Structures are given as C-alpha cells and as structure tokens.
Chains A and B, each alone.
Chain A
C-alpha cells in the first residue's frame, strides 16, 4: 500500500467551494492562474504557504456548494497530497476523483491534530499521528484506478490504450 508523510493545514467544518475558489477568479484562463486565490476568503495567505505533499485536515461537509470543478483542481494544483475530512459533499467527492485528488474520510483525527503536525498515511490502512494510529478505509479499486491515473479522462485514455 502506498505510504506518504505530509505536513498538516487545519481547516474547519463546511469549507465550501466559494472559499476554495471564489467566483470572481473563475474567469482566469487556467487553474495555475487561479491557484494563488485558493481559500482566500478564509485565509488569503494560505495558498502561498502550502507546500508540495502537504495535507489538509478539515471537519464535516468539505467541498459543499457549487459543482465547479476548479475546486478540486486548485487543491491539486497547490500540490496538496490529500484532504482528510470528517465528510465530503457529494459533488465535490465525485469531482475530486475525476480529477485525481485523493480524499480520505476520518472523523477522529481532527481533535488531536494541530497545524504544522506531521502525519504518516498508509492508504487503505491507517494514519499515524504522534504515535497514535487511526484506521482508514480504502476507496474501491475502480476509483483508486482513476485517482492513480490522474483523473477520469486520463484513466479513460489509459484504459483505451491511447496513452
């Protein structure tokens, strides 16, 4: 099973799509242009601080709101390795898989983790934090196949031998 380590950014409940990427920046030509505004209504400095492989830990209903696919795309463009939340809003969940963004559901870790902490994640098994271990479920194989390919379009190409 894939294993990785990442530094944590802590966010709260109901992080909506308009916080992840406000409407006014959706007209920018590319996700690369937009990503500096990620999470700006809540924490304008955050997008500049996030480093490659970092992990977001959030509360319930992460990604609620609009169907804008730029939301998971921006989190990916900021090179976040995965989002761990108590629960995810359904359209966001689907869009994340389609764009190859890894999501992990866990509702215990939030009360222990502080910003800047480091988590060791073993996919489909556990998250380890300060020596304590939290069990996580794995996504079904077909969804992991899409994530690992980098999204639905890439997975389609791979499956059809285009790539």
Chain B
C-alpha cells in the first residue's frame, strides 16, 4: 500500500517501514521549537513537576523570543529572563528579537522530511520545505523535550491538486484564504493538507510558506507542499542538507482530492470574525479602516514587502490610517533596507516596527481600540484578536492591505 508525504515522514520518525491513517505511533522528534508565548510555563513544569528533569537532546531545541519582543511590561520581562537563563544553563539555541519564530526556523533550521513540533499553532509552516511541522501545547512540549519523543495519531491526507499559475496581482494569500473559504475553518480538522501538482511546483518557497502557514486555520494538523528542486535549492543555499524529499506514492490513499485552477483565483478578504468568511475584495469595498498591518509569519517576507513598496512608492498613507509594517526577520529587514524598501515605507508615512509577531498577536504595539477596523496580513481575524473585543479584523494580501492603507478603506490593489 502506498503512502502519502505525511505518512512517509511519520514512518521515518517512527522508524517503521509503513504507517497508515488512524494508527498511533511513538516518534522521535527531529526538532522542537518554543517561543516566548509559553516557554516560561514549560520551564516551570520542568522544574516544579518533574523529579529528575533532564533534556533528551539540547541540539533538537530552538527557543525564540518573538511574541512580545522587546518586553512590553515587567511580567513579560520576567518570563523572558526565565527563558534566557534556562537557554543559557542548558546551552539551547536562543533567538531574541531576530524575527518571527517560523521565519527563523525556515531560514535557519528546517530540513525536508523532518518531523518538527513547535509550541505554536503555526508550526505547520514548515511543510513548505517538505517537513512535517505541527503545533502542540506546552505539556506536550515538555514531554518531547524530556524524552525526545512524542506520539501521533496518523492523520488522513486531503490532497489539493493545483494547476496553472496565479494571475498578475493575485497572491498565495488569496489562494489560501480562498481554499479555507471553500473547505471551512474546520474543513481539514486533524488532516494533512497536501499541495501538489504542476501548479504547486510553479509556486516559489515564499508562496508555499503562505499556504502551509494557514493550514491550521482550516483545522489541519499540518500542510505540506510536495518538495522539489526549489526546496533543494533553498535548503542547500543555506548550508543545510536536503536528503529526505518525500512525495506521495501513486497508490497512496487520500481522503479527498480537490482540483484547483490557480488562474481562477481572485483577490479576496476574510471578513470579521471568521477566517472562512471569504469574499472577493469588491464585496468588502469601501469599508473604512483605522489601521493596516503588513507582517507576521504568514506574510512578512521580502516578497510581500516588495509588493507593498511597489504600490506605496510616491504615495502617502491615508491621514486616518496607521500603517504598521513589521518585517518577519532581521534577514528580511536588512534585505529591505538594501533594496530601499524601508525608505519608501518611511516616506509614505508608514511605521516600520522591529521583527516580531506585532499586530497579528494583539499584544505588541499596534493593538486596535473599541470599534476600530484593521486590515491585516496576519494569521487570524478572531473577535478581539488584535485588541479590543469589539473591534474588527479583515485579512487580505499585502497588495490589498497596502492599497487600502492608501485609500483609507478596503480597495482592490
């Protein structure tokens, strides 16, 4: 019986020849990532709940401070200190203020075929490089940190067979929001979303990251794009090995197969407060906005900043709008500086922030007030996600967000 990509990665991690959906396996975790959202809780459990705590393999661990960096209040500062000290004591790789965790993992750590757990729901991002990344809570993290292992229920795979290319002015973000709109916010609950076909190979790594990153918003355990030459090139150009490129067997079993024609996708927004309430941008036209945000693990890469800069060049952000831009990592920020993009942002009146989760997470600077409307490239539009419980978040592409920041209302780019 053939296996899907997800099954092959689990089989490798479980050190068995074959797995199939529905089975429960104990696996060796290749890599573990935890950020400042919950690491302090894990450390407390490590010290308070375990009798002889030790770390199975510190080289598997990566700690990243990105949610509230730099600290915005003394409580966060204390949590950061705990994380910093623990990392130092156990010689764990630590990034502080260098970028959003998933972007840093992709730039510096993730390899194809790996099984990676992260104490963050958007760990599914790593599927863009052909890895199996999945979000867990801090108790699961503790268990994996101490034992090096975890358990997985092998998920069924839903395959998205993509053909063609996205039209000019349509982005991976429009594609993924459209897919979520089609399947629903729990349409892939516990499934693997596998993206394959010639259309998937036409997508570049940054676009694949956008797709996989939002897989959890359809309820999926992970999203994986069938890895190819582009993955090898990306990974090897960063000095890592691309050894385990898994693709699904021809006789692999899929729960469902969707066929998606990329040139039929159009610019869309997800309306408050449901990510699957997805409509063409035109249907939200003229909604007045108070704030626009470009950034996050979904959409803060150099490619999106370039799109924004192209639209903003020579124009001004609307007087009634705060346009907040947070590059996803230092590497992205430096590249944007080199290309003169930051100049364009500053001249237009946008606010360029440091590399963190920023407005998407609703606890850094840039939160929105009562009754305010935000258009964002963030990951979620839940009620209250970006600030006051009675505020409104629309999600759209970098192009839609930037054009709206100029217009002061939601518009097509």
Listed in ascending order, the chain A residues whose CB lies under 8 Å from chain B are 14, 16, 18-19, 22-24, 26-29, 40-42, 44, 60-61, 64-69, 87, 89-91, 94-95, 98-99, 151-153, 156-157, 160, 162
Interfacial residues of chain B within 126-169, with CB under 8 A of chain A in the complex: 135-140, 142-143
Contact with A along B6-40 (1 / 0, CB 8 A): 00000000000000000000000000000001100
Residues in chain A near residue B140, CB distance under 8 A: 94-95, 98, 152
**Smallest Cβ distance from B390 to chain A, in angstroms?**
8
In the complex, what residues of A have CB within 8 A of residue B383's CB? 16, 18-19, 41-42
B381 to chain A, nearest CB (A): 10
Q: Chain B's nearest CB lies how many Å from the CB of A39? A: 10
Closest to A88 in B: B189
User: Does B70 interact with chain A (Cβ within 8 Å)?
Assistant: no
Q: Are A68 and B186 in contact (CB under 8 A)?
A: no
- SS class of chain B's interface: helix, strand, loop or mixed? loop
Q: Decide: A151 near B139, CB < 8 A? Known: A16-B382, A18-B380, A64-B219.
A: yes
Given the complex, which residues of A lie within 8 Å of B38, measured CB to CB? 67-69
Task: Confirm or deny: B182 has a beta carbon within 8 angstroms of a beta carbon on chain A.
Answer: no
- Residue among B45, B119, B363, B384 with the highest chain A CB neighbour number at 10 A: B384
Known contacts A68-B137, A69-B139; is-contact A19 B186 (Cβ 8 Å): no
B209-230 vs A, CB cutoff 8 Å, 1 = contact: the mask equals 0000000100101000000000
Q: Does B75 contact A (CB under 8 A)?
A: yes
Judge whether B139 and A87 touch: CB under 8 Å: no
- Distance, CA A11 to CA B140, complexed state (A): 28
Say whether B403 faces chain A, with CB atoms less than 8 Å apart. no
Q: Which of A14, A42, A69 contacts B137 (CB 8 A)?
A: A69
Q: Would you call B79 and A27 a contact (CB within 8 A)? A: yes
Q: Which of B142, B185, B385, B389 contacts A153 (CB 8 A)?
A: B142
Give the residues in chain B near A27, CB-CB below 8 Å: 68, 73, 75-76, 79, 363
Q: Could you say which residues of chain A place their CB within 8 Å of the CB of B68? A: 27
Residues of B in contact with A (beta carbons under 8 Å apart): 37-38, 41, 45, 49-51, 68, 73, 75-76, 79, 119-121, 135-140, 142-143, 185-186, 189-190, 216, 219, 221, 274, 361-363, 367, 380, 382-385, 389
Is there contact, CB below 8 Å, between A157 and B136? no
Complex CA distance for A29 and B139, rounded to whole angstroms: 18
Contacts known (A27-B75, A61-B219); A66 close to B45, Cβ less than 8 A? no
A64 touches B136 (CB 8 A): no
Residues of chain B contacted by A14 (CB below 8 angstroms): 185-186, 274
> Can you list 18 contacts pairing A with B, beta carbon distance less than 8 Å?
A18-B384, A19-B382, A41-B384, A42-B383, A42-B389, A61-B185, A61-B186, A64-B185, A66-B121, A67-B135, A67-B136, A90-B190, A94-B136, A95-B136, A95-B139, A151-B139, A153-B45, A153-B49
What CA separation (Å) do A66 and B121 show in the bound complex?
Answer: 5
Contact of A26 among B135, B216, B363 (CB under 8 A): B363
B362 / chain A contacts, CB cutoff of 8 Å: 18, 22-24
* Bound-complex Cα distance A14 to B37 (A): 22
Contacts of A87 in B (CB 8 A): 186, 189
Give the Cβ gap from B71 to chain A, nearest Cβ, in Å: 10
User: Which 7 A-B pairs rank lowest in CB-CB distance, beginning with the nearest?
Assistant: A61-B186, A41-B389, A95-B137, A69-B137, A41-B384, A98-B139, A18-B382
> A91 and B384 in contact (CB under 8 A), knowing A67-B121, A69-B38, A152-B143?
no
A sample of 11 more A-B contacts (CB under 8 A), given A60-B186, A91-B137, A160-B51, is: A19-B384, A22-B384, A42-B389, A61-B219, A64-B185, A65-B382, A67-B121, A67-B137, A95-B140, A152-B143, A156-B143
A91-B121 contact in complex given A23-B385, A162-B51, C-beta closer than 8 Å: yes
- For residue A93, give the distance in angstroms from its CB to the closest CB of chain B: 8
Contact A64 B75 (CB under 8 A): no
User: Which of B37, B51, B380 meets A68, CB within 8 Å?
Assistant: B37
Q: Which A residues are CB-close (under 8 A) to B219?
A: 61, 64, 89-90
